[in-house]
Amino acid sequence: MMGASSTRSPSRWLAALLAASSLLPGVHSQYYKIETKEQIKESARTLAYDLMLYYKGNQSGEIPGILPGPPTEHKGDYYWWEGGAMMGTYVDYWFLTGDDSYNKVVMEGMVHQVGPNEDYMPPNHTASLGNDDQGFWGMSAMLAAENKFPNPPDGGPQWLALAQAVFHTQASPERHDDTCNGGLRWQVPPTNMGYNYKNTIANGCFFNLGARLARYTLNQTYADWAEKTFQWLWDVQYIDHKDWRVYDGGHVEQNCTDINKAQFSYNAALLLHGAAFMYNYTNGSEIWKERVDGLLGGIKRDFFEHGVAFEIPCEGRKGACTADMLSFKGYVHRWLSVVTKVAPYTHKTIIPMLRNSTEAAVRQCTGGETQRRCGFYWLDGVYVDPAVDKTSGAGEQMNVLAAVSSLLIDDAPPPANNHTGISKGDPNAGSRSRGARDPPKPITNGDRAGAAILTILILGSAIGTWGWMSFGD
């Protein structure tokens, strides 16, 4: 009896000490709970509210659709594309939780940024317009179509048509040349630094959008472009043939053989997402299953090595991540969750990964005066102030919102198509822009009936942000 009593006492003493320590200054308890669906929705609701505090576009005198920036003009931490990524995050938030509190703000922002030709090429962002930047806005529009997000007023730009416009402008002969045997360049204007770089993210966005448009519209032209683009990425060996690692890009002067082998999680996840849509479109073809399996295995190995999302190029050195990189984890969670809807056999692999990673994500959201502010470094479960990476924290907050919301994916329907969607398409979308001469063939009755295609969330790296990566040694 004496022995048993003495072994229990220290445990009770330690428990009491830990409980008391939670009351001490600087020791914060976890705010967000995700054990039940209601807890997930409530946590997502608070995360969505806190993320909107970083957005100024709904305030008088500010520009709808963008986060404060760009850094090159000393206006804030964020380039144009990340505003489009945030809009897509809220489209998914509404879709998964049913909370429409931010729908008006999202619609206003997405419509405001379409540009005079309604193809997400606004002239005031030409100096940093990459194919990936435009692609991200296009993917968010595609997402709006797939999620049946409320349509803009008649007479204005529509989600499906906007996604088509982005794709058609990028399919233009003027965006393609024979250097490196094909592929899109990173930047659109030849005067932009980075025009001589052909990278995975630009081509990945184009591929992703084509795959999703193919599934949505059943137009084979989109599928042909998607197949051609993925094959180019494979042939140029931006996708490693042995272990499915996905690399960043190369320069046209070197015929794209000087491959920058930096691995970014959103490159691999974007290709996996698109490959899953092609798997679905082709009714489970073996080649696309092989690609889905290879990419998923590589992502799990490289970016979830310890069961938690980890950005390997920069996360090991706090303060080394750019504002762009600090938003990648959210896209990875969102895209992987959708993979389970269009390639359902992946569910048993993906959902436990996302669940474990999200648990780590919310564990470290203990910062700021509210004691619920989120940082970027999830693995250790300890809050690290975004100021370490010299950002305000919008990307870090967006990551956790995306991760928490995505836990509700099992209750969501699969992405809509031209039979179930509500968005209006336009086979001639993008034709008003220079170079959009050769859009796919008209899209049949489902398109005219108002089928919805989402603007594909295409990630865009902003000019100069990765100068060290693309133009270094």
Look at residues 473, 465, 460, 462 and name the one whose alpha carbon lies nearest to residue 200.
460
Residue 187 neighbours by CB distance under 10 Å: 25
**pLDDT for the residue 106:** 98
Mean pLDDT of the chain: 88
End-to-end CA distance of the chain: 71
CA-based nearest residue to 430, from 164, 187, 231, 207: 164
Domain CATH code at residue 370: 1.50.10.20
CA–CA dist 297, 256 (Å, integer): 26
On the 0-12 / 13-18 / 19+ scale of CB atoms within 10 A, 307 is: middle
Residue 4 structure tokens: 């048993």
Q: Residue length, the chain?
A: 473
Q: Which of 200, 240, 219 is nearest to 427 (CA)?
A: 219
38 in a structural domain: no
User: CB burial class (10 A; 0-12, 13-18, 19+) of residue 173?
Assistant: exposed
- Whether 390 is covered by a domain: the verdict is yes
Q: Which of these ranges, 114-118, 172-176, 392-396, 445-449, has the smallest mean pLDDT?
A: 445-449
Asked, for residue 6, whether it belongs to a domain, the answer is no
Q: How far, rounded to the nearest angstrom, does the alpha carbon of residue 216 sit from its chain's CA centroid?
A: 19
Give the residue among 218, 198, 195 at the shortest CA–CA distance from 421. Answer: 218
Instruction: Read off the DSSP letter of residue 257.
Output: -
Residue 176's φ and ψ, nearest 5 degrees, are -125, 145
| Bridge partners of residue 139, in order along the sequence | 456
Structural domain for 236, as ranges: 46-470
Q: Determine, yes or no, domain membership for 197.
A: yes
Is pLDDT above 70 for 3? no
Predicted pLDDT at 434: 52
Q: What is the pLDDT of residue 37?
A: 98
Which pLDDT belongs to residue 456? 31
Query: Would you list the DSSP string of 112-133?
Result: HTSTTTTSS--GGGGGG-BHHH
- Helix (H, G, I), strand (E, B), or coil: what is residue 74? coil
- Reported as a single tens digit per residue, the pLDDT across 44-61 is 999 999 999 999 999 999
pLDDT of residue 143: 98
Within a domain: residue 149? yes
Nearest partner of 462 among 249, 205, 186, judged by Cα: 186
Label each residue of 47-71 as H, E or C: HHHHHHCCCCCCCCCCCCCCCCCCH
pLDDT tens, 193-219? 999 999 999 999 999 999 999 999 999
Residue 24 lies in a domain: no
Of 3-12, 320-329, 332-341, minimum mean pLDDT range:
3-12
**Per-residue CA distances from 261 to 156, 258, 303, 313, 359 (Å):** 42, 9, 15, 10, 30
> How many whole angstroms separate alpha carbon 250 and alpha carbon 194?
10
User: Could you tell me if residue 76 is inside a domain?
Assistant: yes
Residue 28 lies in a domain: no
d(CA 157, CA 65): 15
58-90 in b/e form (b: 16+ CB < 10 A) is eeeeeebbbbbbbbeeeebbbbbbbbbbbbbbb
List pLDDT tens digits, range 411-459.
999 999 999 999 999 999 998 875 434 445 544 433 433 333 323 333 3
- 370: helix, strand or coil: coil
Nearest in space to 82 (alpha carbons), one of 325, 268, 343, 247: 325
The pLDDT value recorded for residue 470 is: 31
Going from the C-alpha of 322 to that of each of 102, 298, 316, 317, the distances in angstroms are 27, 23, 13, 12
pTM for the full predicted model: 0.87
What total of structural domains would you count in the chain? 1
